[in-house]
Structure 1
């Protein structure tokens, strides 16, 4: 009697697991037409605009930087940003869509803040460098939030290749943020405070 009960229980859990897998598969197949998928694509368009416009802004920030270490870090991030644009285009391709940008109001504001720091500070000033680091880190934190969220949405929809691409970019954004902190704490902030 106990054996039959165990068999039934095991059989029910197998049926339940099969039903769950089938349900997940159905959900993933329906995703391209869902509001959730539309949210993902809208956010992808947003970060695409942000990254494309950031490439230009980073060039201006690099020219305005006094610290050679900071200027080099900005150039490196600019090169990474170009790669981020290419990766986003790969994700659009995976989704069967042509790359399309949607104006990112947040990035536009962050870029404007960077320009304001350049306009409001003296050339060859560590204070300018400190301000540029603050602006660059605000940008990094925005990108970290965007890529982390996009990765989570892609994973939830079963787009594992896209999730992996987004994770790679997220890791690079976090590394850049850490590098900027290191530059600020090792020299720039001290020099700026002494001016």
Structure 2
């Protein structure tokens, strides 16, 4: 069997077999779609528009592989639009809960809610990073320091959940690229360092993360206070005090390491 452009079924299957394929899971559609990554016209493939034109005319049944490809091409345009829409919201939001996305912030309360969501992700990222740092350092004392702050971080996450409840916001997350960047930098430095430097690197990176978290809580507290949310301010201040104390401990430890 030949298609309109003279391509045989066997030739088409041979062309398509090496192509990388990827499953895109669209929870909102309730289905799983398998979409080829490359269906450009003129690249040796049959174009999506040509496949659409072919598929509108009844033809003899072909094998399952070619039939599947034709169906994928038919869905390609709409799948691309859905995928582009998701990416436009979540490009920087690896921790984003799609069901809770705030695509537009219009009021100070909208902003406060979004900041709470990014703070939740920040603390979850920090908890994961503390475990990695604890595993990486040779010093038992520094391991204990990281493990202690991990326990505090769990308490901070619970405090944030209470703040969500006080504002009657559904607890959710949003992307925190800053903390992910700090963790990535720490991993990179630890991978290229000799064991003798790892205590210093881990403490230094943890100190940078604490400074970022302190600024986040200072901003959140001011926003919550402006809303007259006294109980929320109290909970957020507890988190800030813990971060400030940890920052002081890390700075003292780092001073002793570099002396």
Identify the TM-score tier after normalising by the shorter chain: 0.7 to 0.9
After superposition, give the CA deviation of every residue in 1:66-99 in whole Å (9 maximum; x if it has no partner).
2222111111111111111111111111111221
| Residue 203 (structure 2) aligned to one of 128, 133, 144 | 133
Find the counterpart in structure 2 of residue 78 from structure 1.
Answer: 150
**TM-score normalised to structure 2 length:** 0.58
Query: Does 1:96 find its partner at 2:165?
Result: no
Q: What is the rounded CA distance, in whole Å, between the counterparts of 1:117 and 1:103 in structure 2?
A: 23
Q: Which has the higher contact order (CA 8 A, sep 6+)?
A: 1
Q: CA deviation digits over 1:127-179, x for unaligned, max 9? A: 21111111101100000000011011101110010001111110110000000
Map of 1:149-164 to 2, 5 A cutoff?
149-164=219-234
1:34 shift after superposition: 6.4
Structure in which a larger fraction of residues adopt helix:
1
2:210 touches 2:243 (CA, 8 Å); kept in 1? yes
Query: Is structure 2 residue 236 aligned with structure 1 residue 166?
Result: yes
The number of residue pairs the alignment matches comes to 155
Give the 4+ runs in structure 1 shifted more than 4 A: none
Counterpart Cα distance in 1 of 2:122 and 2:158 = 13
1:85-135: CA deviation from partner (whole Å, max 9, x where unpaired): 111111111111221000101111011111112211123x1x211111111
Identify unmatched segments of 5+ residues in structure 1: 1-32, 191-195
**Contact 2:113–2:169 (CA under 8 A) maintained in structure 1:** no
Please say if 1:56 is aligned against 2:125.
Answer: no
Paired residues for 1:1-195 under 5 Å:
35-123=107-195, 125=196, 127-186=197-256, 188-190=257-259
Contact 2:164 2:170 in 1 (8 A): yes
Aligned to 1:3: none
Judging by fraction of residues, say which structure has more strand. Answer: 2
